[in-house]
Every structure is written in structure tokens, then in C-alpha cells.
């Protein structure tokens, strides 16, 4: 009985690790990221008056977004929009923009 619980726990742990390691479909991430481009430019290359995201390190974008989300960084609009995305989605989108040419 004890052993069975242990095995079940190990399987559960394992599946959690797999889920965490599994990166989302790149095409899905591309679509999520495209929802930012109305303001931040196609593939993150912005016109004047907005911040470009293309080529910005993923860690920087992620930190900024999580700060907006937590209310640590003041904003006019990004504190509202960042709350619509999970931390994992934010990290994936940040990775997409980091890989784009400036």
C-alpha cells in the first residue's frame, strides 16, 4: 500500500516535470505574441511612440510584465493587460520577442 502511494506520487511528480518542461507550440506562441503587435509593432518592431520588444532579452520582458501584473510598476494600461496572461504565457511570449530581429 505504502509502495503504491509512493509510485503514484513519483508518477505525479514526473508528469508535473514533463508538463513544466514541455514548451508551448511555437505557432501558438507566435499567435499570442501577435496580439501585442497592434501597439508594439509586427514581430515587436514598433513605430515611434511605443516600445519595441524585438530583440529585448526575454528575462527583461518577463520581469517588466510580472512587475506590471503585481502592481510593482506603475502603468497607464499594461497593469490591466498583463493580468490577462499567465506567467507561463508571458515567459513564452517574451521568448518569442527576444528571438526577433531588432
Partner 1 sequence: MLQRRQVIQAGTSLGVLGLLAGCATPATGKGPKVVVIGAGYGGATAAKYIRMWSEGAVQVTVVEPNAQFISCPMSNLVIGGSMKLSDITLSYDNLVKRHGVTMVSDRVVNIDGAKRMVKLASGTELPYDRLIVSPGVDFMWETLPGMNKPNAQEQVFHGWKAGAQTVALRKQIESMPDGGVFAMTVPQAPYRCPPGPYERACQVADYFSKAKPKSKVIILDANDDVTSKGPLFKKAWAERYKNIIEYRPKHALTDVDVATKTLKFEFNDDVKAAVLNVIPSMRAGDVAVNAGMATANKRWCEVDFLTFESKALPNIHVLGDAIQIAPLMPKSAHMANQHGKSCAAAVVALLTGKPVNPLPIYNNTCYSFVSAEDVIHVSSVHRYDAAQKTMLTVPGSGGVSAAANELEGRYAMGWARNIWADTLA
Integer angstrom CA distances of residue 96 from 10, 12, 28, 55, 71? 33, 30, 11, 9, 24
Contacting residue, 83, 87, 88, 99, with partner 1 by CB under 8 A: 83
Of 6-14, 15-23, 26-34, 59-67, the segment contacting partner 1 by CB under 8 A is: 26-34
Contacting residue, 57, 84, 87, 99, with partner 1 by CB under 8 A: 84
Any contact of residue 55 with partner 1 (CB under 8 A)? no
- For residue 55, count CB atoms less than 10 angstroms from its CB and return exposed for 0-12, middle for 13-18, buried for 19 or more: middle
Residues that bind partner 1 (CB under 8 A): 25, 27-28, 30-32, 34-35, 37-42, 46-50, 76-77, 80-81, 83-85, 89
Amino acid at each position: 500500500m505504502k509502495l503504491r502511494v509512493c509510485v503514484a506520487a513519483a508518477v505525479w511528480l514526473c508528469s508535473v516535470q514533463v508538463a513544466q518542461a514541455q514548451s508551448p507550440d511555437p505557432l501558438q506562441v507566435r499567435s499570442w505574441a501577435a496580439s501585442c503587435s497592434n501597439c508594439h509593432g509586427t514581430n515587436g518592431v514598433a513605430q515611434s511612440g511605443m516600445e519595441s520588444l524585438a530583440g529585448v532579452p526575454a528575462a527583461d520582458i518577463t520581469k517588466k510584465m510580472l512587475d506590471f501584473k503585481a502592481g510593482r510598476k506603475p502603468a497607464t494600461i499594461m497593469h490591466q493587460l498583463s493580468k490577462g496572461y499567465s506567467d507561463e504565457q508571458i515567459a513564452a511570449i517574451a521568448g518569442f520577442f527576444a528571438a526577433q530581429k531588432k
